[in-house]
């Protein structure tokens, strides 16, 4: 490999939110423990990004900054090359993150009391974006069979016929269950969306992180009609671990939707002004694709290590291989622990700091989400601690 995915970076005291949370949960954490919770990576950045940012800072003024034509072309090129997603540069709307962007969309395109459809278990800010803005969560739970999740089309059709439930907040690839939706699955969903006049908010922030053998389809590329009723949320933040740069690319083809979305951002002064964020996005899209490909290979190796660990040592605990993201959804329900006891067991007995399944919805109780974007050695040590803790639990 050209890039370094083995060096451990100690982020204690650097302001990392998940490291801070770990020490708040357990002050006396053993040396070397790395949290496997919040979805950012524990890898060193590619040298192209570091050197590119250094050069940029040395030769620019970090004042109020907007997107350049060169930046927008880099975004358009990436979408075309990586996803066969042909966009126009004026479709791109920049925000400080995908989460504030879908907060903005829900605020603008629904009224208080309206329903927003989600498919749980799902990324927990979806719930906040709906509840905190006095909209109603309308759940169309995914159907799980032997660790594999599918969409309940019949229920979605029924829910979206209701005139108050005209927005679907969709996760693709799906976080936390790791599904990469097949094109035929999206086509079936698109048919119902069009039939029932639904606005599609498609969170595709993990769309670059697809495991070998799978292919991501950008939802709005299904057909022209679905493209006209879709807001696609993308960012380089998960793919290249630059969430701290505050940079997302929201793709909106429909000019009426785009103008309303921008006006809503302006009404709360939410237009980003981060000079470094624009440049970071441009650099990774132009120069760091090989780093991403190698990163995916490391993540795939880690998920197989995790899967193999449970298959060989604790067959009653299920860790199915993921199709996309770098987050593995592990089913601990066989332990018979309620959510509080399971969380306490992970922290106190195994020194594992994960994202608890229940934060993704009630049907996530008994599950844990593992962040796989760590050096292999870190994951091996975490699994050894878990092995000892599970063996003590059996006694």
Q: What pLDDT digit, counting tens, does each position of 377-394 carry?
A: 999 999 999 999 999 987
Are the C-beta atoms of 154 and 196 separated by less than 8 Å?
no
pLDDT at 279 over 70: yes
Are the C-beta atoms of 279 and 56 separated by less than 8 Å?
yes
How far apart CA 68 and CA 248 sit, in angstroms, is: 15
Helix orientation angle between 376-394 and 289-313, rounded to the nearest 10 degrees: 20
Q: What is the rounded average pLDDT for all residues in the chain?
A: 97
Query: Which pLDDT belongs to residue 171?
Result: 98
- Going by the DSSP 8-state scheme, the letter that residue 115 receives in this structure is E
DSSP reduced 3-state for 181: coil
**No. of helices (H) and no. of strands (E), the chain:** 14, 12
Distant-in-sequence, close-in-space partners of 224: CB < 8 Å, separation ≥ 6: none
pLDDT (average), residues 243-247: 94
pLDDT, tens digit, for every residue of 317-347?
A: 999 999 999 999 999 999 999 999 999 999 9
CATH architecture for residues 62-287: 3-Layer(aba) Sandwich (3.40)
How far apart CA 299 and CA 163 sit, in angstroms, is: 42
Query: Which pLDDT belongs to residue 54?
Result: 98
pLDDT, tens digit, for every residue of 160-199?
A: 999 999 999 999 999 999 999 999 999 999 999 999 999 9
pLDDT, tens digit, for every residue of 283-301?
A: 999 999 999 999 999 999 9
Question: Nearest-5° angle of CA 322, CA 149, CA 103?
Answer: 85
Distant-in-sequence, close-in-space partners of 242: CB < 8 Å, separation ≥ 6: 45, 49, 236, 277, 280, 281, 284
Are the C-beta atoms of 56 and 276 separated by less than 8 Å?
yes
CA 95, distance to chain mean position in Å, is 16
DSSP reduced 3-state for 92: strand
Q: Where are the domains of the chain?
A: 17-46+289-390, 62-287
pLDDT (average), residues 136-155: 97
Query: Which pLDDT belongs to residue 374?
Result: 98
- Going by the DSSP 8-state scheme, the letter that residue 149 receives in this structure is E
The total number of residues shown for the chain amounts to 395
- Tokens at residue 102, please? 């879908």
pLDDT, tens digit, for every residue of 99-142?
A: 999 999 999 999 999 999 999 999 999 999 999 999 999 999 99
- Tokens at residue 288, please? 């760091």
pLDDT (average), residues 263-289: 91
- Going by the DSSP 8-state scheme, the letter that residue 89 receives in this structure is G
Share of residues in the chain with pLDDT > 90 (%): 97
Query: Which pLDDT belongs to residue 1?
Result: 83
User: Which CATH fold topology does 17-46+289-390 show?
Assistant: 3.90.1150
Distant-in-sequence, close-in-space partners of 394: CB < 8 Å, separation ≥ 6: none
Question: Model-level pTM greater than 0.95?
Answer: yes
> pLDDT grade, residue 395 (50/70/90)?
low
> pLDDT grade, residue 7 (50/70/90)?
very high
- Going by the DSSP 8-state scheme, the letter that residue 60 receives in this structure is S
Query: Which pLDDT belongs to residue 387?
Result: 98
> pLDDT grade, residue 274 (50/70/90)?
confident
- Tokens at residue 17, please? 């939110």
> pLDDT grade, residue 154 (50/70/90)?
very high
pLDDT, tens digit, for every residue of 77-103?
A: 999 999 999 999 999 999 999 999 999
């Amino acid at each position: 490999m050209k890039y370094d995915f083995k060096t451990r970076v100690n982020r204690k005291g650097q302001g990392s939110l998940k490291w801070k949370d770990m020490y708040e949960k357990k002050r006396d954490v053993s040396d070397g423990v790395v949290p496997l919770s919040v979805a950012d990576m524990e890898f060193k950045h590619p040298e192209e990004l570091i050197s590119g940012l250094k050069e940029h800072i040395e030769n620019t003024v970090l004042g109020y900054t907007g997107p350049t034509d060169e930046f927008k072309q880099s975004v358009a090129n990436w979408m075309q090359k990586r996803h066969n997603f042909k966009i126009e540069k004026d479709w791109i709307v920049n925000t400080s993150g995908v989460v504030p962007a879908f907060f903005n969309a829900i605020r603008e395109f629904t009224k208080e009391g309206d329903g927003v459809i989600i498919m749980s278990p799902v990324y927990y800010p979806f719930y906040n974006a709906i509840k905190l803005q006095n909209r109603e969560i309308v759940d169309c739970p995914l159907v799980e069979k032997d660790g594999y999740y599918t969409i309940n089309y019949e229920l979605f059709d029924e829910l979206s016929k209701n005139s108050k439930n005209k927005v679907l907040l969709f996760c693709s690839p799906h976080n936390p269950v790791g599904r990469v939706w097949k094109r035929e699955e999206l086509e079936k969903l698109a048919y119902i969306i069009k039939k029932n006049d639904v606005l599609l908010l498609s969170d595709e922030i993990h769309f670059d992180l697809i495991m070998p053998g799978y292919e991501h389809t950008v939802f709005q590329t299904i057909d022209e009609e679905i493209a006209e009723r879709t807001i696609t949320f993308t960012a380089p933040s998960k793919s290249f671990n630059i969430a701290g740069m505050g940079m997302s690319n929201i793709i909106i083809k429909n000019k009426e939707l785009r103008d309303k979305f921008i006006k809503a951002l302006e009404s709360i002064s939410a237009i980003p002004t981060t000079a470094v964020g624009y440049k970071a996005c441009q650099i990774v899209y132009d120069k760091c694709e090989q780093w991403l490909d190698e990163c995916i290979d490391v993540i795939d190796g880690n998920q197989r290590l995790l899967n193999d660990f449970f298959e060989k040592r604790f067959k009653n605990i299920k860790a199915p291989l993921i199709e996309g993201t770098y987050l593995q959804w592990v089913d601990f329900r066989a332990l018979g622990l309620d959510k509080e006891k399971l969380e306490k067991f992970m922290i106190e007995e195994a020194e594992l700091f994960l994202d608890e399944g229940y934060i993704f919805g009630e049907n996530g109780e008994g599950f844990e989400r593992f962040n796989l974007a760590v050096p292999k050695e870190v994951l091996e040590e975490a699994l050894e601690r878990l092995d000892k803790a599970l063996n003590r639990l059996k006694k």
